[in-house]
Amino acid sequence: MSDHVPLWLGKPAPRYTSYPPATQFAAVTPARTPSHLAELAGSATPISLYLHIPFCRSLCLFCGCHQVITQRADRMAAYQVALHQEIKLVREKLGKRVVVSHLHFGGGSPSSLTPTQFTALMEALGEAFAFTANCEKAIELDPRTTAPELVEVLARTGINRASLGVQDFNPKVQETIHRVQPIELVRGVMENLRGAGITALSLDLMYGLPHQTEASLAETAQQALTLDPERISLFSYAHVPGFKTYQKALEDAGLPNDADKLKQERVMRQALVAAGYAEIGIDHFAKPTDSLAIAMQNGTLGRNFQGYTDDVASMLLGLGASSISDVPGCFVQNEPDLEIYQQRVAQGELPLKRVCFRSADDHRRGRIISDLMCKFTAELGDVSDLGDALARLVPYERAGLVRRSGSQLTVDRAYPMAVRAVAACFDRYYDAAKIASKVA
């Protein structure tokens, strides 16, 4: 192991939930206007739909998400109006009810919606889109704001998968990160969800936070296991204080260094694997019977903006402030500023902010990167036009971390945390300094 560590520890690399990564997106202008809706309308297969609900009741000091902290009902109501306007606008421009096989509510905290708001949104989506009979309908929930009345409505409107933000169960860690939620609270919400028929449940855990130790994380893992989730996402804390300035507060409490983070990740991984969870890509775990584990086995595991997915749809439509659409021609991001987003849709305008048109080379490198992130192996094809990628790989090959057999590249599965750094060798836009300061 010591041979490998210096190579990639501390090398910042994107999470590659997209390629090109979000740092490459640039302003939409009259000369750079995407035609993603035409591509979505022409899709021969069902698409995925993502809705962004930015609101959270209070700020978690580690948060790297696009969120807005408020408890003001009028702000949330104004956003609802805008979401309904955007859904209508997009439906008109699509010219038909496009078929959807995956729906995802992300945030922020979609659990900030009232039962009435959620019901109205699902009705509007049902009018604008045609959901397949077995459509996966997933939602991200903050257990602290998931009221029993909301759970009832989620089940009634067809939500069939939920992920709950936990991070850590240690009281000292929770206090430091401003995220106090005892395990009994999480257990109660999971019981409510299961009781209502929403049984596909996932927990988000995190390492690399202040006061976490290998021992405290092992305990958090055991506590999480008592909740019997179908899936667990184990995120490495991304510290980007240049981008999210409030994260600086965590420096005072002391952050682990990269070598310590590596040990923490191993403790968690070992605990989850020992409990029978299958390892999914670099940071997800699932029961062997779960669809993500089956996708991993079948080689159909994919990557989207939320992480790993068994969603095979080739196009994604994002709705709401900061959401991203993904079609073969481009990635398009909506305006992240709430007020501007609301003003633009009120004027009947698509609230597009940034776009990244994808070249054939982007697609090719994107496929290699996605295969490495999902399968730990990739077919490189003709390597002569991959620029300096192979030269950048050399140190990893010398250390035995990657193997090349003909044009097939394979990363040692014992080092999942090295995959991002290896994938970055194929990223023609890779700029370590920019990533360290900007990308979560």
Ligand X SMILES: C[S@@+](CC[C@H](N)C(=O)[O-])C[C@H]1O[C@@H](n2cnc3c(N)ncnc32)[C@H](O)[C@@H]1O
Q: Give the CA count within 13 Å in the CB-facing half-sphere of 73.
A: 3
Select from 162, 107, 161 the least CA-distant residue to 134. Answer: 161
User: Quick one: 18 or 85, whose CB is closer to ligand X?
Assistant: 18
**Cα 426 to Cα 391: distance, rounded to the nearest angstrom:** 10
E-only strand ranges, 183-338: 200-207, 231-236, 278-280, 284-286, 302-304, 307-309, 316-319, 324-327, 330-334
Quick one: which of 37, 40, 49, 60 contacts ligand SF4 (CB under 6 A)? 60
Residue 56 binds to ligand SF4 (criterion: CB under 6 A): yes
Query: Do residues 171 and 211 touch, judged by C-beta distance below 8 A?
Result: no
Which residues in the 117-146 window bind ligand SF4 by CB under 6 A? 142
- Residue 172 CB, shortest distance to ligand SF4, in Å, is 18
Residue 64 binds to ligand X (criterion: CB under 6 A): yes
**Cα 188 to Cα 201: distance, rounded to the nearest angstrom:** 13
- The CB density around residue 73, as the number of other CB atoms within 10 Å, is 10
Residue 277 binding: pick among ligand SF4, ligand X, none (C-beta 5-8 Å cut-off by kind)? none
- Residue 24 CB, shortest distance to ligand SF4, in Å, is 24
The 75-114 site mask, x for binding ligand X (CB under 6 A), equals -------------------------------xxxx-----
The 137-156 site mask, x for binding ligand X (CB under 6 A), equals ---x-x--------------
Query: Residues 6 or more apart from 53 whose CB is under 8 A from it?
Result: 79, 105, 106, 107, 108, 109, 110, 112, 113, 320
Residue 54 binds to ligand X (criterion: CB under 6 A): no
Residue 250 binding: pick among ligand X, ligand SF4, none (C-beta 5-8 Å cut-off by kind)? none
- Residue 60 CB, shortest distance to ligand SF4, in Å, is 3
Quick one: which of 22, 47, 51, 63 contacts ligand X (CB under 6 A)? 63
Residue 107 binds to ligand SF4 (criterion: CB under 6 A): yes
Residue whose tokens read 């006061």: 211
Which residues in the 242-301 window bind ligand SF4 by CB under 6 A? none
The 2-21 site mask, x for binding ligand X (CB under 6 A), equals --------------------
Query: Residues 6 or more apart from 150 whose CB is under 8 A from it?
Result: 111, 113, 114, 115, 118
Residue 90 binds to ligand SF4 (criterion: CB under 6 A): no
Q: How large is the angle between the packed helices 115-128 and 73-94, nearest 10 degrees?
A: 10
